[in-house]
Chains A and B, each alone.
Chain A
Amino acid sequence: MLNLKSILTKHYVYLILIIFWGLSFAISPFFRSVSTFSAIFISAVPIILIGFSQTIVVIGRGFDLSVGSVAGLATAICSVLMEKSLFSAILVVVAVSLLIGLINGIGVTFFRMEPFIMTLGMMFIINGVSLIVRPSPGGYICDSLKNVLLFSVGDFALAPFLIIVAAGIIGVLLLRKKALGRMIYAVGGDPNAARMSGVAVDRTRILIFTISSLVAGLAGIYLACRISSGNAEAGARYLFDSFIVVFMGGTMVTGGVGGFSGTLAASLIVASLVFILQFFGVSSWYQFIVKGLLLVVVAGIQISIFHRRSKLNE
């Protein structure tokens, strides 16, 4: 049931999004245009996809520091291989990101490395490889793919919008309804209890990292189309954005609690910030301060609610 209290304590991310959009809508006439929302959707797609990667990893009690660099590597691979063939470029990106995720998963399970350290090392390696593949930004991205992924009707960015809707539906269904999703929650909530109740913990964790890396690679393909070139460092900012949207969206750093819908809403907030500040006449540099403060405030509220709830339960 949606009463006021549950809206305030559970669904505050959506509330923040509505307040942000509502305020801008009321104050700035520029915000009331299709092209503004299209611009928000276009810039939100990579944040949402990489946010999904990070969400499943964090729910599974881990971190993935390599997501941003996987996206960067994907843009680099695309920009090099698309001259020859579109198909082979996409195939190589998929294969490479699957391989990276698999190695991350094996390192975390069989070698018992901390996810943070495993993916940190992986991130350094991928950054190096990306710079070798594409030392300076540039290269060729094929026009037909750009036309498909950024397809728009008039001012409305239809394809990015559809990608967001599809990602939202698939992401939420995967985590809520599918057996894999439930296993991810089980592994993140309490790995030992999950093992006792018959969940293949190691296999699930390997799967989590593989899916995470794959989605990050796909986000990289979209990113390559958006910036219309390959850039080894293009993905770096999305690593921190992914943490921001995951934590802002209500996924707990301790694992087992959270979901993708919150991440989705938080991604839209982050993607809108630049435009909202612009319409208020504030330098877009302030977006970092707003993002950081928002993250602390949201995390603080979330923790205090969580503690009150666990005290009530005691």
Chain B
Amino acid sequence: MNSNFIQSMKDSMRKNLQVSIILAALVVIMAVAGIITPRFLTVNHLIGILYLNSMLGILALSQTLVILSGGIDMSVGAIYWLVVMIGAQLMGDGALWGPILICLAIGTAIGFINGFCIARLKIPYVVMTLAMMIIITGILYVATGGGGGGKSAEELTQFSIARIMKSSQKGGFNGLPVRTLLWIGFVIVFGFILNRTSFGWKIRSLGSNCESSRLSGIRIERVQILTYTLSGILAVIAGLLYLGQARTPYPTFQSGAGVGANLTLQTIAAVVIGGTMFSGGIGGAGKTMLGVIVTSVLYSVLGMIGLHEEWQVMLNGVIILVIVGAYSRMETNN
């Protein structure tokens, strides 16, 4: 009985080892932070971290879909910035829904083109989405002249920074940010789609083995096109939320290196830290959310103890290597 219990504990541990590792990492980081600064572990501060990283979370979700399908989308960061800059220009005169629809249309179109070229023309996904990133970089420079312009519509800003259930007391609960709820909503919806619908299973099966998926009758081209299109749409939503927060954006993207490249690489980092297999098929929306939370809590802790961007970037790399290295050792041992 006792040994059975231990055995079943071990089994479930092994099954959920990745999630256990990442939760343990999270607990350790937060405990250390709590010891250094007790204020770190307040609800308001933790929700503040989620609030700031909601956009990264939604972008990482779109990357998760693509990586699960056995691909990779190097253009999500570029679509994000395209929406931020073009959206601001379109919203300059206070219009709200027109610009939002145009942005959604742009993202859908870009995602569709990515998916179409990858699925139908058989262009390798890295090449295609990389080329798309470079093209968007060019379009952005040409369209904005390298500088920013315009501003976000007031309604969008209000939505992006809105909080509900705010306590009226001074020093009380700061409220739940609407856009974080939106992020969590997306995670639940896509978690459901990935685990409980045939479309989700098709995405995973495509990522596990493209050829056998095709032979078992899945119309892989349609699934691929849909996946990249969804990724484009989610990137647009993330971009709009950032535009609302930034109000008047100015380009913070690096010149020459490709717009949004760093952001894209951060989304890939969050996905693999969360435990989604880079080769596709295994993983999920919830895991990626955990990955985003771990990296953003770590950033926050480092910023708090006075280690700035260079250390954050460096430790992000260390975390990727340690966690993913641990995952792949486990895979090999199993």
Contact = CB atoms under 8 A, between A and B. Distances in A.
B321 A118 contact: yes
A289 B139 contact: yes
Interface string A284-314: 0111111111011001100110010000000
A296 B128 contact: yes
A288 B278 contact: no
Nearest to B314: A128
B121 A303 contact: yes
Interface residues of A, number: 52
A83 interface: no
Given A125-B317, A127-B313, A292 B257 contact: no
A273 to B, nearest CB: 11
Contact of B310 (A111, A132, A240, A285): A132
A188 to B, nearest CB: 14
B256 A120 contact: no
Contact of A128 (B117, B127, B131, B313): B313
A124 B127 contact: no
Contact of A292 (B124, B132, B261, B265): B132
B215 interface: no
Contacts of B257: 68, 233, 236-237, 239-240
A247 interface: yes
Interface string A111-122: 111101110111
Interface residues on B, range: 35 or more
B31 to A, nearest CB: 24
Interface in B270-299: 272, 278-279
Contact of A243 (B122, B126, B141): B126
Contacts of A290: 138
Contact of B265 (A123, A254, A287, A291): A123
Given A112-B331, A243-B126, A288-B141, A131 B310 contact: yes
A129 B314 contact: yes
A129 to B, nearest CB: 6
Interface string A265-297: 000000000000000000101111111110110
B134 A288 contact: yes
A135 interface: yes
4 tightest Cβ-Cβ pairs between the two chains A and B: A128-B314, A288-B138, A124-B317, A292-B135
21 contacts: A112-B329, A113-B328, A117-B268, A117-B320, A118-B321, A118-B324, A121-B318, A122-B317, A125-B318, A128-B313, A132-B314, A236-B257, A243-B127, A247-B130, A252-B124, A253-B124, A283-B142, A287-B138, A296-B127, A303-B121, A307-B122
